[in-house]
């Protein structure tokens, strides 16, 4: 090995060692100066129980959560119930944010951290305001992009800024905010296991009636009891698709009945009966490409203290006075006429 080669290797080793020492010292300094537990909102954690209103602004869309007794509701959905645990999680997530270090104070760079103007559409920034029952502002913060790869943390962190300020901050902790109303609302409407359905009847606005009942030995285990003569199914699952609508039915949004125009002559009225006595009457309709549902239930069993009876009571308590905005695919399952789901029986099969 030549003296020149030895000298080069010595320099490389020296530079590498120096870099390692610098990195270690820099990491220690980072931990000492930044992970000191200083909360972004000192005292908020102790005051969290007093928060009774939470305002969120994102993509130009407001969300206002208000506490009514022991229940949280969403004002923009006419005061329908939301998952209180999600609101509580939001409040405590904000209260637990800890400052790590200042970041850019250049407004031109706010968009890089998703910390632009939350009132502007197509903007990912989210403004969160926490208020007490008497309207006192407990905290207000714009939350932006998450950083999941912070050293010495299990939660990760995110970038934030205070409204009206250009200075941004990296904080420890994550504030997870649902971006759609359905992310917050109690979405469950009705859930009758498909294997418990003994009868389903669709009454279309044009007068056509479709009757679906269980049938062994056919694909999907359901069939039309009143299949039109000379017709056959395009898909053997069409009857089962109708029966399945009452299983795990969920909403997208909700309004009070008085705030939604309803013309009974345009409704698809569907009745579901279960083997344990639950009868659910569901009215579906569509206006301007939005699908709606109203529902009421009855119990035909003999034991008013039974689980099915309690299920009916819960459905009616939840649904009384409300019109649900539902996914399009759920509406389509019950709105297709025989002409669309069947074809002439003598039509040759594929191939």
Label residues 209-219 b or e (16+ Cβ within 10 Å = b).
ebbbbbeeeee
Domain end: 141, 159, 183, which one? 183
Q: Are residues 205 and 163 in the same domain?
A: no
Could you give the count of Cα atoms lying within 13 Å of 210 in the half-sphere of its Cβ? 28
> What 8-state DSSP symbol labels residue 234?
S
Domain end: 149, 183, 217, which one? 183
Residue 123 is predicted with a pLDDT of 87
- The whole-angstrom separation of Cα 88 and Cα 334 is 38
Which domain range does residue 79 map to? 44-183
The token pair at 217 is: 């030995």
Q: Are residues 104 and 173 in the same domain?
A: yes
Q: What residues are paired with 64 via a beta bridge? A: 55
- The whole-angstrom separation of Cα 269 and Cα 272 is 10
Residue 8 in any domain: the answer is no
Q: Are residues 318 and 331 in the same domain?
A: yes
Q: Are residues 193 and 121 in the same domain?
A: no
Residue 5 is predicted with a pLDDT of 52
Q: Are residues 201 and 146 in the same domain?
A: no
Q: Are residues 248 and 149 in the same domain?
A: no
Domain end: 183, 208, 239, which one? 183
Residue 122 is predicted with a pLDDT of 84
Residue 194 in any domain: the answer is yes
Q: Are residues 216 and 277 in the same domain?
A: yes
Q: Are residues 227 and 93 in the same domain?
A: no
Q: Are residues 133 and 204 in the same domain?
A: no
Residue 150 is predicted with a pLDDT of 78
Q: From first to last of its 351 residues, what are the pLDDT tens digits of the chain? A: 555 554 445 444 444 444 443 343 333 233 334 446 699 999 999 999 999 999 999 999 999 999 999 999 999 999 999 999 999 999 999 999 999 999 999 999 999 999 999 999 888 999 999 999 999 999 999 999 999 887 766 778 999 999 999 999 999 999 989 889 999 999 999 999 999 999 999 999 999 999 999 999 999 999 999 999 999 999 999 999 999 999 999 999 999 999 999 999 999 999 999 999 999 999 999 999 999 999 999 999 899 999 999 999 999 999 999 999 999 999 999 999 999 999 999 876 554
Residue 3 in any domain: the answer is no
Task: Give me the helices (H) in the chain, please.
Answer: 3-34, 44-47, 84-95, 238-244, 307-319, 328-335, 338-341
Q: Are residues 325 and 239 in the same domain?
A: yes
* Predicted TM-score (pTM) above 0.75: yes
Residue 216 is predicted with a pLDDT of 94
Residue 198 in any domain: the answer is yes
Q: Are residues 91 and 208 in the same domain?
A: no
Q: Are residues 298 and 166 in the same domain?
A: no
Please give the full DSSP string across 225-278, using - where no structure is assigned: TTPPTTEEESSTTHHHHHHHTTSSEE-SEEEEGGGS---GGG-EEEEEEETTSE
Residue 168 in any domain: the answer is yes
Residue 285 in any domain: the answer is yes
- In the chain, how many domains are there? 2
Residue 12 is predicted with a pLDDT of 45
Give the dihedral of Cα atoms 169, 173, 179, 180; nearest 10 deg.
-160
Residue 36 is predicted with a pLDDT of 62
Residue 233 in any domain: the answer is yes
Residue 170 in any domain: the answer is yes
Q: For 126-141, write each residue's pLDDT tens digit.
A: 999 999 999 999 999 9
């Amino acid at each position: 090995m030549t003296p020149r080669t030895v000298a080069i290797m010595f320099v490389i080793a020296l530079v590498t060692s120096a870099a390692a020492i610098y990195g270690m010292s820099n990491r220690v300094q980072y931990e000492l100066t930044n992970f000191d537990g200083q909360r972004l909102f000192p005292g908020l954690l102790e005051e969290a129980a007093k928060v009774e209103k939470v305002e969120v602004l994102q993509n130009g869309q407001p969300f206002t959560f208000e506490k009514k007794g022991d229940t949280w509701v969403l004002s923009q959905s006419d005061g329908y119930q939301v998952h209180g645990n999600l609101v509580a999680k939001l409040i405590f997530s904000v209260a637990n944010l800890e400052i790590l270090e200042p970041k850019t104070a250049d407004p031109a760079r706010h968009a890089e951290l998703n910390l632009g103007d939350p009132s502007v559409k197509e903007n990912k920034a989210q403004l969160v305001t926490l208020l007490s029952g008497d309207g006192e502002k407990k905290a207000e913060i714009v939350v932006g992009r998450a950083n999941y790869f912070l050293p010495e943390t299990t939660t990760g962190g995110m970038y934030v800024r205070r409204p009206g300020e250009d200075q941004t901050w990296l904080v420890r902790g994550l504030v997870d905010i649902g971006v759609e109303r359905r992310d917050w609302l109690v979405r469950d409407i009705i859930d009758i296991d498909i294997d418990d359905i003994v009868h389903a009847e669709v009454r279309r606005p044009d007068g056509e009636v479709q009757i679906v009942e269980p049938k062994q030995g056919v694909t999907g285990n359901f069939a039309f009891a009143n299949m039109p003569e000379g017709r056959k199914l395009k898909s053997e699952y069409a009857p089962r698709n109708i029966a399945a609508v009452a299983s795990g039915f969920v909403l997208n949004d909700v309004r009070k009945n008085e705030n939604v125009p309803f013309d009974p002559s345009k409704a698809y009225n569907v009745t579901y009966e279960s083997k344990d006595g639950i009868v659910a009457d569901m009215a579906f309709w569509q206006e301007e490409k939005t699908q709606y549902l109203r529902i009421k239930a009855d119990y035909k069993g003999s034991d008013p203290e039974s689980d099915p009876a309690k299920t009916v009571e819960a459905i009616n308590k939840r649904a009384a006075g409300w019109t649900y905005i539902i996914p399009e695919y759920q509406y389509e399952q019950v709105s297709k006429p025989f002409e669309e789901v069947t074809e002439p029986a003598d039509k040759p099969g594929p191939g």
